[in-house]
Amino acid sequence: MAIDLAKNVFQVLGMNSQAKQVFNKRLNRAQLTEFMSQQSVCNVVFEACYSSHYWGRKFLAMGHGVRLIPAQHVTPFVRGSKNDKNDAMAIYEASFRPNIRFVPIKTEAQQEILMLHRVRERLVKQRIACTNQIRGVLVDFGICFAQGHSAFERAMWDIICDEAQRPLIKLMANDFWEEYQALTKRLERINSLLKQLVERDPNGKILLSIPGVGPIIASAFAAAIGAGQAFNSPKELAVWLGLTPKQFASGNKSVNGGITKRGDCYLRKQLIHGARTVVSHASKKQDDLNLWITQLRSRKSICSAVVATAHRLARLIWVLLQKQVPYAPQYAANQGANHGTC
């Protein structure tokens, strides 16, 4: 069966072993649950989209085999007009392509962590918007202060405590301060919760051992990719994250461009932030990874070095998750002897 998912109305296509259509019906949420519970065990395919993991878990509990297809791989198989029946047929045809990488069904625990990350990302944007707006409106009154949260907090407290300040400015400063504090407390609560959850996750503990990976990055990757079972090699994970260069090839000519930026932009952003920290401290360490970064930094720009380091960390993440071992710094043979002596 191929199902075109939606919020309330679902298109269910049934095909037999000879690829002949048995039924193609339209069902609502209650009807879909009842209908699937009455069917004999079969393979069910649908797009990895809105509510797909919920339905995947539900159908697995009924005994069906479930496969989720990335939505971008279904679009080329849509024939004729765009409607639910044609979409369901496209999902069915795409499921038989030999090189389709199916999406693993996430557990409720994984989706809970990803939910926290989405809320956290929104709160971060709201706090930045709050601080930027108050900075902008106060400039018209000749009040300027340095960037950074510490400078913002000191400046806001000075305005609130200034008896000579205009009453309306103090009133608005109080409102902005209360909003800023509320957002900060919510962010701290979410960060603390993510840290607790990732420390209880075996995959999270492995990720925390990797340089540049803290609780935020570790929890995001553990929830999004699990143990990396959807990828056959470390290169596939790096490609999925969009950290590999675009390729323009024709005949004997091949040109590499900038990184593709495909895949999950949130994971890519967090990993690049972590890689930036690793690059900034690479010169202080003598293990193989940091020596490689130092040599790379001597001939490449800082941004190129950061993205290349993020690419290498992505590969390292896949390898360690597959082996289920924590990260241990590697040293060359002669350096290892010196390191042990020291």
Sequential DSSP letters for 283-305: GG--SHHHHHHHHHHHHS-HHHH
Identity at 198, one-letter amino acid code: V
User: Do 29 and 72 lie in a common domain?
Assistant: yes
- 196 assigned to some structural domain: yes
Total domain count, the chain: 3
The pLDDT value given to residue 334: 56
User: Do 228 and 244 lie in a common domain?
Assistant: yes
- 289 assigned to some structural domain: yes
End position of a domain, from candidates 94, 119, 135: 94
Structural domain harbouring 46:
2-94
User: Do 8 and 47 lie in a common domain?
Assistant: yes
User: Do 173 and 208 lie in a common domain?
Assistant: no
End position of a domain, from candidates 173, 200, 227: 200
User: Do 235 and 291 lie in a common domain?
Assistant: yes
Per-residue pLDDT of the chain (342 residues; tens, 9 = 90+): 999 999 899 999 999 989 899 999 999 999 999 999 999 999 999 999 889 999 999 999 999 999 999 988 999 999 988 899 999 999 999 999 988 889 999 999 999 999 999 999 999 999 999 999 999 999 888 888 888 889 889 989 889 888 888 889 999 999 999 999 999 999 999 999 999 999 999 999 999 999 999 999 999 999 999 999 889 999 999 999 999 999 888 888 889 889 999 888 999 999 999 999 999 999 999 999 999 999 999 999 999 999 999 999 999 999 999 999 999 998 875 555 455 443
| pTM of the full structure | 0.88
CATH number of residue 15's parent domain: 3.30.420.40
**HEC profile for 40-54?**
CCCEEEEECCCCHHH
- 160 assigned to some structural domain: yes
Provide the 10 A C-beta neighbour count for residue 160.
15
Structure-token match 């890519």, residue found: 268
The pLDDT value given to residue 335: 59
User: Do 131 and 19 lie in a common domain?
Assistant: no
Identity at 314, one-letter amino acid code: A
- 331 assigned to some structural domain: no
User: Do 65 and 149 lie in a common domain?
Assistant: no
Question: With 0-12 CB in 10 A as exposed, 13-18 as middle and 19+ as buried, what is 173?
Answer: buried
End position of a domain, from candidates 50, 71, 94: 94
User: What CA–CA distance (Å, rounded) separates 321 from 311?
Assistant: 16
User: Do 123 and 155 lie in a common domain?
Assistant: yes
Structure-token match 């990488």, residue found: 101
User: Do 51 and 14 lie in a common domain?
Assistant: yes
User: What CA–CA distance (Å, rounded) separates 299 from 320?
Assistant: 29
- 339 assigned to some structural domain: no
Closest CA to 313 of 274, 280, 263: 274
Closest CA to 203 of 177, 231, 226: 226
Q: How many CA atoms lie within 13 A of 314 on its CB side?
A: 28
- 165 assigned to some structural domain: yes
Compute the Cα dihedral for 134, 140, 141, 145 and give only its sign.
Answer: positive
User: Do 271 and 311 lie in a common domain?
Assistant: yes
3-state helix, strand, coil in the chain (%, to 5): 60, 10, 30
User: Do 153 and 115 lie in a common domain?
Assistant: yes
Distance of CA 33 to the CA centre of its chain: 30
- 336 assigned to some structural domain: no
The pLDDT value given to residue 319: 96
User: Do 219 and 236 lie in a common domain?
Assistant: yes
- 99 assigned to some structural domain: no
